[in-house]
């Protein structure tokens, strides 16, 4: 099972497909239907859950909730038509030589 950023790229491709096809019963489809404010709210809610799990020392929950944050963040990027590569480039720009 991949453990690097390629899984994020594959997940983003799936999210873009859900955005285009809007299959019934898809959670991703329902998020897009609710709009950017709701998607942004979900990113915030999941981030708070990561913080709480960290504060409680619950490493397994930190991993689980971090996955939720990353998923919802990718949905938010897709809602803004921003590719993860744009974020990767910004991170690269910030890295010190």
What DSSP string runs through 30-79?
Answer: HHHHH-HHHHHHHHHHHHHHHHHHHHTT-HHHHHHHHHHHHHHHHHHHHH
Q: Which DSSP state fits 25?
A: T
Closest CA to 31 of 67, 77, 72, 89: 72
pLDDT surpasses 80 at 32: yes
User: How many Å apart are CA 81 and CA 79, to the nearest integer?
Assistant: 6
5 pLDDT band, cuts 50/70/90, is low
The string of pLDDT tens digits covering residues 33-64 is: 999 999 999 999 999 999 999 999 999 999 99
96 pLDDT band, cuts 50/70/90, is confident
CATH top-level class of 6-94: mainly alpha
User: How many Å apart are CA 24 and CA 58, to the nearest integer?
Assistant: 35
Q: What is the pTM of this model?
A: 0.92
Q: What ranges do the domains of the chain cover?
A: 6-94
């Amino acid at each position: 099972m991949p453990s690097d950023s390629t899984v994020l790229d594959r997940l983003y491709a799936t999210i873009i497909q859900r955005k285009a096809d809007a299959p019934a019963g898809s959670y991703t489809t329902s998020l897009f239907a609710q709009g950017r404010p709701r998607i942004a709210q979900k990113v915030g809610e999941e981030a708070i859950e990561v913080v709480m799990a960290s504060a409680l020392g619950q490493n397994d929950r930190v991993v689980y909730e971090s996955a939720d944050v990353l998923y919802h963040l990718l949905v938010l990027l897709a809602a803004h038509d921003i590719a993860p590569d744009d974020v990767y480039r910004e991170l690269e720009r910030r890295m010190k030589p």
